[in-house]
């Protein structure tokens, strides 16, 4: 039997994750009382049980009883009951934004601000995150991307590393992405904006890609960037980092940055040590401003 404990921060997507687990064939129970988890695991593991795949949602709604979960996990281990812990996390600023958008109150905030409740929750859940087999950071994930990551783990049974990389192209005139871990400026390259017939196109068009990459500096930059990122990734994984955002910027975020972000994505996308996606944050902003 496959037994999953699904936990993590409020607002990180646990309800969505449980629905995904159901869709891929898991029997899911949310907010099961801590005292019943051990008994439930025993019943599900009986030979005549029809439950072959089970997921149990556990979080701070368990209140003070959450502190008893460690003893339950220890007994499951002692009795040879195998389980995995899936922990969903998200950046504090993203969680605050999600709470504001839904106009919900954090369960631990009381009369304080949301960020105070988030700090308390992190402290209470720290013991689970430290033991987690899978940590998925949903800060920059769409639902379909979360589904893809979970299917990779629980359907395709791929080796999973808890690092998800987002490559973001952007325009400096619109500001550096606030969640960037690494930022690279490619404004040293000639700008297609000033070339007749290229201004309206983007780095997703072959004409722009050919123009940018014809300069030897672009290739050298890309080689050095790839080498550095590949050096950093295993070290980040060892350090326990779960989310890496690489920002590549030019003036408007439409030509050079898009081209180099696409090129870096192509060089990294075949690796299996991490999840990977690409975003072009500002690619359409000039078009919108000129209307």
Confidence at 111, pLDDT banded by 50, 70, 90: confident
Query: What is the average pLDDT across 145-159?
Result: 81
Bridge-based pairing of strands 164-171 and 243-250 is: parallel
Lowest-pLDDT choice from 20-29, 108-117, 122-131? 108-117
C-alpha torsion 199→205→208→211, nearest 10: -150
Task: Tell me the per-residue pLDDT of 9-60, one tens digit each, with 9 for 90 and over.
Answer: 999 999 999 999 999 899 999 999 999 999 888 888 876 667 788 999 999 8
Rg (CA), the chain: 23
Dist CA 43 CA 51 (whole Å): 9
E strand or H helix that includes residue 144: helix 143-154
Q: Please name the fold of domain 2-154.
A: Rossmann fold (3.40.50)
Tell whether the model's pLDDT for residue 85 goes beyond 70.
yes
Q: For the chain, give the mean pLDDT.
A: 89
Task: Delimit the CATH 3.40.50.300 region(s) of the chain.
Answer: 2-154
Tell whether the model's pLDDT for residue 182 goes beyond 90.
yes
Number of residues in the chain: 291
Tell whether the model's pLDDT for residue 168 goes beyond 70.
yes
Percent of the chain with pLDDT over 90: 55
Confidence at 291, pLDDT banded by 50, 70, 90: very low
Query: What is the average pLDDT across 254-268?
Result: 96
CA distances from 206 to 7, 198, 255 (A): 44, 11, 11
Cα dihedral sign for 163, 141, 100, 88? negative
Task: Tell me the per-residue pLDDT of 198-241, one tens digit each, with 9 for 90 and over.
Answer: 999 999 999 999 999 999 999 999 999 999 999 999 888 887 78
For the chain, give percent helix, strand, coil, nearest 5. Answer: 45, 20, 35
pLDDT score of 159? 58
pLDDT score of 188? 97
**Which residues, other chains included, contact 189 with Cβ-Cβ below 8 Å and sequence gap of 6+?**
212, 215, 217, 218, 221, 250, 256
Q: Which of 79, 76, 80, 84 is nearest to 54 (CA)?
A: 84
């Amino acid at each position: 039997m496959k037994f999953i404990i699904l936990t993590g921060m409020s607002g990180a997507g646990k309800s969505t994750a449980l629905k995904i687990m159901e869709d891929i064939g898991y029997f899911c129970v949310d907010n099961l009382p801590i005292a019943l988890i051990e008994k439930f695991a025993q019943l599900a593991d009986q030979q005549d049980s029809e439950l072959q795949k089970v997921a149990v949602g556990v979080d701070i709604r368990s209140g003070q009883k959450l502190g008893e979960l460690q003893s339950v996990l220890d007994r499951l281990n002692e009795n040879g009951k195998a389980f995995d812990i899936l922990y969903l996390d998200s950046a504090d600023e993203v969680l605050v934004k999600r709470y504001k958008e839904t106009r919900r109150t954090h369960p631990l905030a009381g009369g304080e601000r949301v960020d105070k409740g988030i700090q308390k929750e992190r402290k209470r859940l720290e013991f689970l995150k430290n033991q987690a087999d899978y940590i998925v950071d949903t800060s920059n994930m769409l639902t379909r991307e979360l589904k893809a990551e979970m299917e990779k783990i629980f359907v395709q049974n791929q080796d999973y590393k808890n690092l998800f990389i987002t490559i973001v192209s952007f325009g400096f005139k619109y500001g550096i992405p606030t969640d960037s871990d690494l930022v690279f400026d490619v404004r040293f390259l000639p700008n297609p904006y000033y070339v007749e017939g290229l201004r309206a196109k983007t780095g997703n068009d072959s004409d722009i890609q050919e123009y940018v990459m014809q300069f030897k500096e672009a290739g050298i930059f890309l080689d050095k960037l790839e080498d550095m990122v590949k050096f950093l990734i295993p070290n980040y994984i060892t350090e326990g980092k779960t989310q890496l955002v690489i920002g590549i910027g030019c003036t408007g975020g439409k030509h050079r940055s898009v081209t180099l972000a696409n090129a870096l994505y192509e060089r990294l996308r075949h690796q299996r040590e991490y999840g990977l996606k690409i975003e072009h944050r500002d690619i359409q902003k000039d078009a919108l401003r000129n209307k």
